[in-house]
Structure 1
């Protein structure tokens, strides 16, 4: 089926189309196929279509689809005008009976207006080239396609930026936890650098530097903490305070006597987990239920604790955690958490459990369930006693309390007159000077206030508690090692 470019009429044969064009559009005066205009020449019809019937907006599905059912079979107005211009140029060639160049010479002095944009051309050749530019522009991507490409590019850039940000955050976490091999070489190297810096600033003489370094090397070789950051008798000082002070407290529970261990120059910024375990060991040495399973009565140094964790991993404890640290802690500044404390205790044949307060249970992001659980921990051994004193000194070891980025030791609990519960926490970040204010009559109240933590003070998203619950037999230890392959915490709520 052949379609006339001028009027859209359909005929079957090519000869019929030639006859139609000759009779209807060449010898006869032409009529606009889109309106009632008639009696115009072929060239005039092309100019009229371009001016009076501009191309309708394109549809997304097809650029040549008609806008209405009544336009079916009609050519685009721009296409019709362009074809009319091209045929007028060819027709002029045929009339002149010569080539394009000959026709251009014959048409000098005439003006040729583009039927699409009305640009004036000098000759037919220029008009043809100009009209072809319009066809090239039509082949360019549509606005919708361009916008879609822009959106794809913007999405790619956004994903690339998010990926870079995630990589930076991951690298920072690696640096914080020491699993990237950073941290200055661990405790020994960090201590040496701190001493060297003190010499450079004139705070330490060379002789003092060598003496301090010799003491450090002796401590590291023996595997025993040098005790320079230890403060003894902390719980005893709290007992003395609550016997005469704290009128707003209706009841106070305290753990067994515990020493406080502060962070030192060798582990500042990453050693809180090790320091809290030293506090826990100092309490276990004073508890008959646990003292018998401890290999020695001395508190190990941080490098020695790191070696103990590595040895526990070799026994088969927590293979996932061992893989996370690449089986190595010695010589690094890697942070440890509740699972590493559990590994250490299990390796010492001490039964422990991890309780995970994985989400807030109170208003404002607070954790009242955590405080209530700690209360039940302290009152459990005292349930048989009907009449309890205001100050209750238990034989329970302290609790290890972990949250994102830090850990502390729970050595007591206050219950105030209004029912509010308050934890008493020993923080490795607290200096020995501040802790020893507990023995000062003038400063003890301020020192105790620093230990108190109300529900509004503990608003991290998640907390984990490590609680001890007796000794393990050799068989029970092997069961715990087997179960630690998929180590799970008890979730509350």
Structure 2
């Protein structure tokens, strides 16, 4: 409120106009400040979005490299690179390089394992590229479309990790060559979190014991079963469970074939004169399995053709039995 007393209406009008001009100037400054602040905030938001997009792309590329989906080459490329490295270091002669390369190309052409993928002396076992091809065929049949989309419908020529879902799709789609043309009936069991102290999974061991104990005679110390091995998957690695031991104190111990174990060590298991320490290569106690999550693929029978169709339909939204 202005306290000025004016002597004439003209002077009063001029004074009022001055006040109005002052207010308009102040309001103009305020509007300009708000507009500038809004522009600065918009620019900050835009930069933040760009940083988030950049970070997402970097994380995506990191995941692609981690899971072998970065087009850096598959089994053949890795094999050749490793041999070239050995030649450059003088550990392999050029003639041996070309011989091994020829052998590898022949094995890939026939789709059987040449022994370089830890399956020595069992050449009927499919090679890694062949298994990749068979999984792609399962996808083409309509199994696990979401999983197929994750891999861009392609495994051959990549280092992509093959997990429990891919093995499930493969086994469910695969027809066995025997006197009966049947299909694997299998299930996926997901031990999605530790169930014991210090990140251990005792429930997994109990499940395996139950699996191998079905139908056994009471009191038998050693049980030989016709049940198929179990496929055990965790982050970045898979192993084969071929049995389980139960000690007198009720401690459980899985018997595992690990492809990460050097083939020379595994071959020692075939020797009749192996010393008593060799089972250490096979035994895994509860404290040895401490990954956050494990999955098991178990074959529990055969499928009729109509059952296969039902399972293919069910795999459109893939679910596993969760324990606990």
TM-score when normalising by structure 1 = 0.55
- Of 215, 229, 235, 1:404 maps to 235
Give the conservation status (yes or no) of the 8 Å contact 2:185–2:299: yes
Deviation at 1:304, TM superposition (A): 1.6
Residue aligned with 2:315, SS? helix
Return the alpha-carbon distance in structure 1 between the equivalents of residues 28 and 169 of structure 2: 74
Q: Is the counterpart of residue 473 in structure 1 residue 307 in structure 2?
A: no
Pick 1 or 2: higher relative contact order, CA cutoff 8 A, min separation 6: 2
Q: Is the counterpart of residue 485 in structure 1 residue 319 in structure 2?
A: no
The residue that corresponds to 2:72 in the other structure is 183
Give the conservation status (yes or no) of the 8 Å contact 2:188–2:321: yes
The residue that corresponds to 1:74 in the other structure is none
Aligned CA RMSD, in angstroms, stands at 3.5
Give the conservation status (yes or no) of the 8 Å contact 1:437–1:443: no
The residue that corresponds to 1:381 in the other structure is 215
Return the alpha-carbon distance in structure 2 between the equivalents of residues 350 and 199 of structure 1: 44
Residue aligned with 1:392, SS? coil
Q: Which protein has the larger Cα radius of gyration, Structure 1 or Structure 2?
A: 1
The residue that corresponds to 1:244 in the other structure is none
Deviation at 1:167, TM superposition (A): 2.4
Return the alpha-carbon distance in structure 1 between the equivalents of residues 140 and 117 of structure 2: 31
Q: Structure 1, unaligned stretches of length 5 or more?
A: 22-79, 84-131, 231-260, 263-281, 283-296
- Of 9, 24, 28, 1:15 maps to 9
Give the conservation status (yes or no) of the 8 Å contact 1:437–1:444: no
In the superposition, relative to structure 1, how do residues 369 and 140 fare at CA in structure 2: closer, same or farther (>3 Å)?
A: same
Q: Deviations over 1:289-342 (max 9, x none)?
A: xxxxxxxx9211122212211222222222222222222222222221111111
Give the conservation status (yes or no) of the 8 Å contact 1:338–1:466: yes
- Give the total of aligned pairs: 306
Return the alpha-carbon distance in structure 2 between the equivalents of residues 156 and 456 of structure 1: 49
Return the alpha-carbon distance in structure 2 between the equivalents of residues 307 and 416 of structure 1: 42
TM-score when normalising by structure 2 = 0.81
Q: Is the counterpart of residue 164 in structure 1 residue 54 in structure 2?
A: yes
Q: Is the counterpart of residue 318 in structure 1 residue 144 in structure 2?
A: yes
Return the alpha-carbon distance in structure 1 between the equivalents of residues 275 and 124 of structure 2: 31
Question: Which aligned runs of 4 or more in structure 1 are off by greater than 4 angstroms?
Answer: 134-142, 148-163, 440-444
1:222-233 aligned at under 5 Å gives the runs 222-230=110-118
The residue that corresponds to 2:204 in the other structure is 370
In the superposition, relative to structure 1, how do residues 432 and 315 fare at CA in structure 2: closer, same or farther (>3 Å)?
A: same
Deviation at 1:150, TM superposition (A): 8.6
Q: Structure 2, unaligned stretches of length 5 or more?
A: 175-182
Deviation at 1:17, TM superposition (A): 7.8
Q: Deviations over 1:34-61 (max 9, x none)?
A: xxxxxxxxxxxxxxxxxxxxxxxxxxxx
The residue that corresponds to 2:108 in the other structure is 220
